[in-house]
Chains A and B, each alone.
Chain A
Amino acid sequence: MNTNFSDIAKQFDWEEITRSIYSKTSTDVEAALNNLTPTLEDFKALLSPAAENYLEEMAQKSQYLTKERFGNTIQMYIPFYLSNECQNICTYCGFSLDVKIPRKTLTDNEIIEEAKAIKKLGYDHVLLVTGEANKTVGVDYLKNAIRLIKPYFSQISIEVQPIETEEYQTLVEEGLHAVLVYQETYHKENYKIHHPKGKKSNYEYRLETPERLGKAGIHKMGLGILIGLEDWRTDSFFCAAHLNYLEKKFWQTRYSISFPRLRPHAGGTKLKSVITDKQLVQLICAYRIFNQELELSMSTRESENFRNNIIKLGITSISADSKTEPGGYNKPKEALEQFEIDDKRSTEEFANIIKQQGYEPVFKDWDKVLQ
C-alpha cells in the first residue's frame, strides 16, 4: 500500500462532507447506534445535529464501551512545558511569534528542577511541550531533555513541532513513547489563513506527520483538531478518516484523540465554530462509539464541572494541576503561559473526584524497560 493520507483526503470535498453530515436523519443515527462495527458514515450520523436528540443514549453506550475496554480506570498525565519560543504565527496561540510575551527555554538545571517538582505531584507520565524554534529547541534539545528527565518518569510523550522520520527514530531510541500532533484543521485553504507564517504554514508537511511517526515505530500517536477554527463536525470527520487510514497501515501503534477547544489567550481572535458543552459530549461519545479502542484525552482547559462529569462518558486519560508556562511547577510565572487553564484543582483533589466516581486514577501504566 503506497498511498498516503493526502491522496485519500483529496477524495473528500469539504462542502460535500459538510452537507452530508448536516443532512443525516434520526434513522441514520439509530442505525449508527445499532451497528456493531460502525463505519465513517455512521460517525457522520453520530456527529450530526440529528444526533443531538440521542445524547443520553450515546452517553450510555459510550460509557459501556469504554468500561468494557479500559475498565474502571483513568490514566493521569501532566504537561511539562520546556519552552515558549516560537517562530510561527498562529492566529489563535499564546506562543505565536507576534505575541509580545517574555520568551523562555529551560536550561538543563531548570529541566531537572522542573522534573523533580512534577514528580513530587505524583506523576509518572509526562507530556513535553514546546513551540517551534528549531535553532534553540530542535531535535538535539529534545533528545537532551528526554535524557535528563528519563530517570524520573515511566512514560514520556511530546507535543512539539513536526520533525523527520529519522529524527523521531532518534527520540524513540532515547525513550520517547508518544507524539501528539494535531492537524488543527483539515480545511486546506483556511489552514493557511490560521497559520500565515513559519514552518507550520506548510499544510502538507503537517498532514504527513503521522505517516512519518508510523514509520519511526512510535508506540502511540495523538491526533486532533483545534475546535473553533473551522466547522468542528466536518473537521472531526476528516480526523476520523485519518485515524481509520492510520490504524490499518500502522497497526502496531496506539492512537489517541484530544479535544482542545479554543480559549481566551494573549493573541485573541474571534471563533468561527463554537462548540457547546453538549456538543463536545456528543463528539466524545461519537468517537467512542466509532472506535472502542481509541484513547480519549482531556486537558485542564475545561471547567471543573465539565471535567467531573466527563470522566464517566468515554475519556480515558486526563491531566490535572497543569501549568502552561516553562518552569511553571518549580517557579510559577503566569506572564509566560500558552493559555489560561480553567480547572486549577490540585492533583490530590482531582484524584479524589475520580475515585468518588468509582474509578481508579492510574499514574503508572508503562515502564522504562518496555522501551
Chain B
Amino acid sequence: MEKLVIANKEFESRLFLGTGKFSSYDLMEKSILASASELVTVALKRVNLTEGENDTILSHLNHEHINLLPNTSGVRNAKEAVFAAELAREALETNWLKLEIHPDPKYLLPDPIETLKAAEELVKKGFIVLPYINADPVICKRLEDVGTAAVMPLGSPIGTNKGLETLAMLKIIIAQSNIPVVIDAGIGSPSHAAQAMEIGADAVLVNTAIAVSQNPVEMAEAFKLATIAGRMAYEAKLGKVNEKAEASSPLTQFLS
C-alpha cells in the first residue's frame, strides 16, 4: 500500500482518531493503540497547557508512533483560532494544527469564511494546517490555494454517524485536490470508512463511532481493517458499476 504523505511526513496508517467521548483515558489509549493510528487530534481546551506531558490526556498519548494534532475546538472566529493555535504550538511543541472554527454550537458546522481567513494567516506563521471544512469543492480549492497541508471535509454533521451524506461533493473534492483529502465527521461505521477510502480519500478521521461503541477497542481495530481494505481496493482499481450485466468471458470474441 502507498504511504500517506502530509507535509512531507509519511504515515503508514490512513486512520486518524479523535480523543473525545471515551469513558476513560485508559480506554482511549487502548483504542488508539488498537487502531494503529499515527495521528490523533486533541482539543486544546481539554488539555492543561501548563502541565505539558504530565497532563492527564497527553500522558496517555505518549507513544513514539503517535503524533499529536491539536485542534481549536471552541473558537468562534479567525482571531481566536490564531491565538489558540499559537498557544498550542508553544505548549505542545508541534506546528501541526487541526483548524476547527464552528461558531454554531448546535450542529458544529465549520464557518468557511473565518476558516479561510485563519488558514491563510496560520500558514504564513509556519503552521501545518489541516482545516475542518464543509464538503464544498470551491472552499477546499481556496484552502489549498492559501497553502493548507490537507483539507478535511465532513461526511455528515459531526457525531451523527450518518456516513458520507455529502458523497457527490466529496467525489468532486477528491477529483480536484492536489493535497490530501481527509474525510472528517459523520463516519459512523467501518463500512463508511472503507467507502471513503474506495472513493479515493487519502485518510479518514473517526471519533464518536469508536468512543461511544460498546467495545471501543474492538471497534478501533475494525476501523483499522476497514480503512486498509478500502485503500487496498482503491489501489487495486475497483471495477466500474454498470447498469446491465457484463460477461467476464465475452461471447463474440471468436469473431475478431
| Residue ranges of A at the interface with B (Cβ–Cβ < 8 Å) | 67-73, 154, 247, 251-254, 293, 355, 358-360, 362, 364-367, 369-370
> Are A69 and B24 in touch, CB under 8 angstroms?
no
- Tell me the minimal C-beta distance from A315 to chain B in angstroms: 15
In the complex formed, the residue of A with least CB distance to B25 is A360
A72 partner residues in chain B, CB cutoff 8 A: 21-23, 211-212
Q: Mark B40-59, 1 if CB is under 8 A from A, else 0.
A: 00011111110000000000
Q: Residue B166 at the A interface, CB < 8 A?
A: no
Residues in chain B within 8 A of chain A (CB atoms): 20-25, 43-49, 74-76, 80, 83-84, 87, 103-107, 159-161, 208, 211-212
Q: State in angstroms the CA–CA spacing of A109 and B25 once bound together.
A: 37
Given the known interface contacts A70-B21, A72-B21, A72-B22, the answer about A367 and B76 at a Cβ–Cβ threshold of 8 Å is no
Contacts of A360 in B (CB 8 A): 22-25
Q: With A359-B23, A360-B24 in contact, is A365–B208 under 8 Å at CB?
A: no
The interface residues of chain A lying within 8 Å CB-to-CB of B107 are: 293
- A252 touching B103, Cβ below 8 Å: yes
Does the CB pair B74–A71 fall under 8 Å?
Answer: no
Q: How far is the CA of A247 from the CA of B104 in the complex (A)?
A: 10
Residue contact B80 to A370, C-beta cutoff 8 Å: yes
B211 touches A251 (CB 8 A): no
Could you tell me the distance in whole angstroms from the C-beta of B26 to the nearest C-beta in chain A?
10
A67 to B160, CA, bound (A): 11
User: Which residue of chain B has the shortest Cβ distance to A73 in the bound complex?
Assistant: B21
Per the bound structure, the CA–CA distance linking A69 and B108 in Å amounts to 11
Distance between B32 CB and nearest chain A CB, rounded to angstroms: 15
- Expressed in whole angstroms, the minimum distance between the Cβ of B249 and any Cβ of chain A is 48
CB-defined A-B contacts under 8 Å, sample of 28: A67-B212, A68-B161, A68-B208, A68-B212, A71-B23, A71-B212, A72-B23, A72-B211, A73-B20, A73-B23, A251-B104, A251-B106, A252-B76, A252-B104, A293-B105, A360-B22, A360-B25, A364-B45, A364-B47, A364-B48, A366-B45, A366-B74, A367-B44, A367-B47, A367-B74, A369-B44, A369-B87, A370-B75
By a CB distance below 8 angstroms, the chain A residues around B106 are: 247, 251, 293
Verify B24–A355 contact, CB threshold 8 A: yes
Contact across chains for B105 and A253 when beta carbons are under 8 A apart: yes
